[in-house]
């Protein structure tokens, strides 16, 4: 039986190609650890027990659903994470949003979980495949406007997630390097434990662009 292929206009293919490109970046061969909010193997992707004070640059590979949010909270509470929060998580779903970022680790990729306020998430319009940076809030300055004790308990845990490149924008993405970095020196850190990599690169903590060690540019 002869099969007839449907002609697809080039303009119709472009959105499909962008989606395919984003998926290829996240799930290419060998990137076996890219599983958002994996509590069974990677501590739900959490890097620290409290506020993460490091920069994280990577690709959005997950936005936690309400069931995933509850699952991570239950795991964190059982394992001594987020000690500043109320025991029963009062306000958790209202104030916080978990985002998963895919970052390179030893030739593979690992999904790490970063925390942001629900308000900032709703205004950021983050998409899967977007290349972003997480940075800690300046808690001493930014928290001044929060007088609600419950809200402030969440504020000390969250940071800011901002988009650097749109999904599929390889020209933009090629300017940056993904990973975990010291928020003051820009020195690359081990994703698993936050210790400096002896052969790691440096980035400018403000522009996030790669620089030579000791450079102020």
In tens, the pLDDT along 49-59 reads 998 999 999 99
64, part of any domain: yes
In tens, the pLDDT along 27-69 reads 443 344 568 999 998 899 999 999 899 999 999 999 999 999 9
117, part of any domain: yes
Q: How many domains does the chain have?
A: 1
Q: What confidence score (pLDDT) does residue 147 get?
A: 63
35, part of any domain: yes
Q: What confidence score (pLDDT) does residue 216 get?
A: 52
196, part of any domain: yes
Locate all alpha helices (DSSP H) within 47-179, ordered by sequence. 66-78, 92-95, 118-124, 139-142, 149-155, 170-173
In tens, the pLDDT along 151-203 reads 778 888 999 999 999 999 999 999 999 999 999 999 999 999 999 999 999 99
Q: How many residues does the chain have?
A: 217
User: To which H or E segment does residue 159 belong?
Assistant: strand 159-165
Locate all alpha helices (DSSP H) within 136-183, ordered by sequence. 139-142, 149-155, 170-173
pLDDT averaged over the chain? 83
Question: Which residue range(s) make up the domain with 148?
Answer: 31-211
Q: What confidence score (pLDDT) does residue 38 get?
A: 95
Which CA distances in Å does 12 have to 8, 18, 71, 142? 6, 11, 39, 45
Q: What confidence score (pLDDT) does residue 34 get?
A: 61
Q: Which residues contact 20 (CB under 8 A, 6 or more apart)?
A: none
144, part of any domain: yes
For 14-52, letters b (16+ CB in 10 Å) and e give: eeeeeeeebeebbeeeebebbbbbbbeebbbbbbeeebb
6, part of any domain: no
In tens, the pLDDT along 87-110 reads 888 889 999 999 999 999 888 889
* Residue 94: both structure tokens together: 């209202």
160, part of any domain: yes
Q: What confidence score (pLDDT) does residue 108 get?
A: 86
Q: What confidence score (pLDDT) does residue 142 get?
A: 55
In tens, the pLDDT along 118-148 reads 999 999 989 999 999 999 986 555 555 556 7
What's the predicted TM-score (pTM) here?
Answer: 0.81
162, part of any domain: yes
């Amino acid at each position: 039986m002869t099969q007839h292929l449907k002609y697809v206009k080039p303009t119709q293919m472009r959105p499909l190609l962008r989606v395919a490109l984003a998926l290829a970046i996240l799930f290419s061969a060998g990137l076996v650890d890219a599983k958002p909010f994996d509590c069974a193997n990677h501590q739900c992707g959490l890097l620290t027990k409290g506020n993460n004070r490091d920069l994280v640059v990577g690709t959005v590979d997950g936005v936690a659903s309400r069931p995933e949010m509850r699952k991570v909270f239950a795991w964190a509470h059982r394992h001594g994470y987020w000690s500043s929060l109320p025991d029963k998580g009062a306000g958790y779903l209202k104030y916080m949003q978990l985002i998963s970022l895919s970052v390179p680790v030893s030739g593979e990729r690992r999904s790490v979980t970063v925390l942001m306020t629900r308000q900032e998430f709703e205004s950021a319009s983050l998409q899967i495949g977007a290349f972003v940076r997480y940075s800690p809030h300046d808690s001493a300055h930014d928290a001044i406007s929060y007088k609600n004790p419950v809200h402030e308990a969440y504020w000390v845990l969250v940071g800011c997630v901002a988009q650097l490149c749109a999904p599929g924008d390889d020209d933009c993405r090629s300017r940056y390097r993904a990973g975990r970095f010291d928020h003051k020196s820009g020195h690359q850190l081990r994703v698993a434990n936050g210790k400096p990599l002896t052969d790691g690169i440096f980035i400018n903590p403000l522009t996030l662009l790669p620089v030579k060690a000791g450079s102020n540019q």
